[in-house]
């Protein structure tokens, strides 16, 4: 399972990146945005490059709550972190409804989510940093 190793163990093993907020952890283990925020802070503290996974469930997508979910997950996940701590942040938009079930987001859906993520990052951090952060799509293709 994703996330079953301590950040310090990853660092000791030579890892440079760490996935945080993966849907598996959010849904199977009940990891909240606040808990993911604590993990983000620890990752930055020990020098791991965080990959923050965000994305909505099928019910949230069908209820047209994608933007609200993205806003909450980014705002809470990055809370109290400073722009200089996040210059290496990667955001992975991984719509839960498009993983492992034969469904995939259209390029337009993925692009719209990416655009909204960048707008949110500009509000949370800075415009300049928001333009530098890698936002990748992590659902089925």
Task: Give whole-number Cα distances, 108 to 4, 13, 116, 131, in Å.
Answer: 34, 39, 12, 20
In the annotation, is 94 catalytic? Answer: yes
In the annotation, is 22 catalytic? Answer: yes
22, 31, 56, 71: the active-site residue: 22
Q: Is the dihedral of CA 1, 92, 23, 50 positive or negative?
A: positive
31, 56, 71, 94: the active-site residue: 94
Category of 64 on φ-ψ map: left (φ > 0), alpha (ψ -120 to 50) or beta: left
By annotation, the residues acting in catalysis are 22, 94
């Amino acid at each position: 399972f994703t996330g079953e190793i301590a950040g310090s163990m990853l660092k000791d093993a030579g890892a440079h990146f760490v996935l945080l907020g993966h849907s598996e952890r959010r849904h199977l283990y009940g990891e909240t945005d606040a808990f993911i925020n604590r993990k983000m802070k620890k990752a930055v503290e020990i020098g791991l490059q965080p990959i923050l996974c965000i994305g909505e469930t099928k019910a949230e997508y069908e209820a047209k709550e994608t933007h609200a979910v993205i806003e909450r997950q980014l705002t809470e996940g990055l809370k109290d972190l400073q722009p200089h701590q996040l210059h290496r942040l990667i955001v992975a938009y991984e719509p839960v409804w498009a993983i492992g079930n034969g469904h995939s987001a259209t390029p337009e859906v993925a692009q719209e989510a990416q655009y909204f993520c960048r707008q949110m990052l500009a509000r949370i951090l800075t415009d300049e940093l928001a333009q530098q952060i890698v936002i990748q799509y992590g659902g089925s293709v």
